[in-house]
């Protein structure tokens, strides 16, 4: 089955490259370092190297606690981080600077994967969340490179998709050296797909500390503004219209700040706004909608908001990370589609740190109620912070698995 998969992937390359070029019209980063996607590199080599793959922005940020822990535990190792998207590559630079090597991951072609592994020769590979590439995993197994699936999640929908291709995906899951699942439900689904050594290690997103200077700046911005702020965070295509259509549910004195999930949509979403952060850092008193068109400032936006509505959850897209908002002490309102964050959602609702709405109108109505109820906002904010604090520790648990795979004791040396 892998041979057929590889042949089909090779035949699809002209279309894949055409799409890469097309996406590069809006995001020039897709047209850079294309050779890396085929296993050709000019990056420095290291005698001891750990490779961490994080597909895009969310995974790059989620990996930070584990990457920092690996750097502290293995000071004589260099970290190579790969991603798939141009936005992910830019986020690597923002989050890690020069502390890691950064590259695009190769396409899952046998030759590209072989060149990648021969060039870097990692002692350990760590793949974040749900990236399962049959040829890449198979080549690691054949080369004796241990591979850990970290912070792994597996929704029911994704599990059904993998199960339909079990003759291809089951050997890949079985070849993983270890899997660190976010929850017991994720662990059970991963085992059913063929993963052998699976343990529940928690969610790394709880270990990501909010950026303190950004939190302070966001609070100062809101204080200077002098009116209620409602944040529509990490919205996806089509959601801005759905939510802003219900803006009448929210008081006219409220400023609605919209931060799209993907930067290539900033100009598109600007049609709904009277101002945008890169041009008008302080919106006018008459502005109703303000566009947050900057990258890497989510802590600022959450701190600047009285209430946050989490995007990706009002269309069947699986939701976006609610933990960032809770850690910043901002009450959260979620849409009905949070299946990519199902456990965190259930626990946050149980803790009283979040509200789940059935549709955009209900969400904006709940936001209006919260904006008028300062006491309830304080209670939810405190519940959110306690909730995040109670679930920290995933980074150290997943680090211990990585070190064990390398044959290193958590407090020892190789």
pLDDT digits (tens, 9 = 90+) for 2-28: 899 999 999 999 999 999 999 998 889
Looking at residue 410, its pLDDT comes to 57
212 has pLDDT over 80 = yes
Q: Contact, 45 vs 174, CB < 8 A?
A: no
- Residue 413 belongs to some domain of the structure: no
Are 16 and 131 found together in one domain? yes
pLDDT tens digit sequence for 22-63 = 999 888 999 999 999 999 999 988 899 999 999 998 899 999
Are 154 and 258 found together in one domain? no
283 has pLDDT over 60 = yes
Task: Count up the domains in the chain and report the number.
Answer: 2
- With 0-12 CB in 10 A as exposed, 13-18 as middle and 19+ as buried, what is 229? buried
Are 132 and 224 found together in one domain? no
Q: Domain range for residue 34?
A: 2-202+393-406
- Residue 103 belongs to some domain of the structure: yes
- Residue 287 belongs to some domain of the structure: yes
What average pLDDT score do residues 71-79 get? 96
Are 159 and 269 found together in one domain? no
Please provide the average confidence, as pLDDT, over all residues in the chain: 94
Catalytic residues: 59
Are 166 and 218 found together in one domain? no
Are 138 and 240 found together in one domain? no
Distance CA 412, CA 18 (A): 49
Are 379 and 397 found together in one domain? no
Task: Tell me what percent of the residues of the chain surpass a pLDDT of 70.
Answer: 99
- Residue 374 belongs to some domain of the structure: yes
Are 243 and 192 found together in one domain? no
pLDDT tens digit sequence for 367-402 = 999 999 999 999 999 999 999 999 999 999 999 999
What average pLDDT score do residues 127-153 get? 94
Give the residue from 338, 392, 345, 405 showing the smallest Cα distance to 149.
405
275 has pLDDT over 80 = yes
Looking at residue 411, its pLDDT comes to 52
């Amino acid at each position: 089955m892998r041979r057929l998969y590889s042949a089909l992937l090779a035949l699809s390359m002209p279309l894949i490259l055409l799409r890469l070029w097309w996406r590069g019209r809006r995001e020039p980063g897709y047209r850079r370092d294309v050779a890396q996607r085929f296993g050709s590199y000019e990056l420095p080599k290291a005698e001891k190297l750990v490779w961490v793959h994080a597909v895009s922005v969310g995974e790059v940020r989620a990996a930070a606690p584990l990457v920092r822990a690996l750097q502290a535990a293995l000071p004589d190792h260099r970290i190579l981080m790969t991603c798939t998207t141009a936005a992910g590559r830019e986020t690597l630079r923002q989050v890690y600077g020069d502390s890691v090597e950064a590259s695009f991951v190769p396409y899952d072609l046998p030759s590209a994967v072989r060149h990648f592994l021969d060039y870097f020769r990692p002692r350990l590979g760590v793949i974040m969340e749900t990236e399962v590439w049959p040829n890449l995993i198979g080549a690691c197994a054949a080369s004796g490179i241990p591979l850990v699936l970290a912070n792994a999640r597996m929704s029911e929908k994704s599990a059904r998709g993998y199960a339909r291709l079990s003759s291809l995906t089951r050997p890949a899951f079985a070849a993983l050296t270890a899997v660190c699942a976010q929850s017991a439900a994720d662990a059970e689904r991963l085992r059913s797909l063929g993963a052998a050594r699976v343990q529940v290690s928690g969610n790394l997103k709880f270990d990501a500390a909010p950026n303190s200077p950004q939190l302070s700046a966001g609070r100062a911005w809101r204080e200077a503004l002098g009116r209620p702020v409602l944040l529509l965070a990490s919205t996806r295509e089509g959601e801005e219209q759905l939510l802003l259509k219900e803006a009448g549910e929210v008081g006219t004195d409220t400023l609605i700040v919209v931060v799209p999930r993907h930067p290539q949509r900033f100009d598109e979403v600007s049609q709904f706004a009277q101002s945008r952060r890169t041009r008008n850092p302080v919106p006018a008193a008459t502005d109703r909608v303000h566009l947050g068109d900057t990258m890497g400032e989510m802590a600022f936006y959450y701190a600047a908001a009285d209430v946050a509505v989490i995007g990706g959850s009002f269309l069947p897209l699986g939701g976006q990370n609610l933990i960032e908002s809770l850690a910043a002490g901002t009450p959260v309102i979620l849409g009905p589609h949070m299946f990519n964050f199902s456990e965190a959602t259930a626990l946050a609702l149980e803790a009283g740190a979040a509200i789940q709405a059935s549709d955009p109108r209900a969400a904006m109505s709940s936001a209006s109620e919260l904006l008028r109820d300062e006491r309830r906002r304080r209670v939810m904010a405190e519940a959110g912070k306690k909730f995040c604090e109670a679930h920290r520790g995933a980074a150290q648990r997943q680090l211990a698995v990585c070190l064990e795979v390398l044959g290193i004791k958590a407090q020892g040396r190789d």
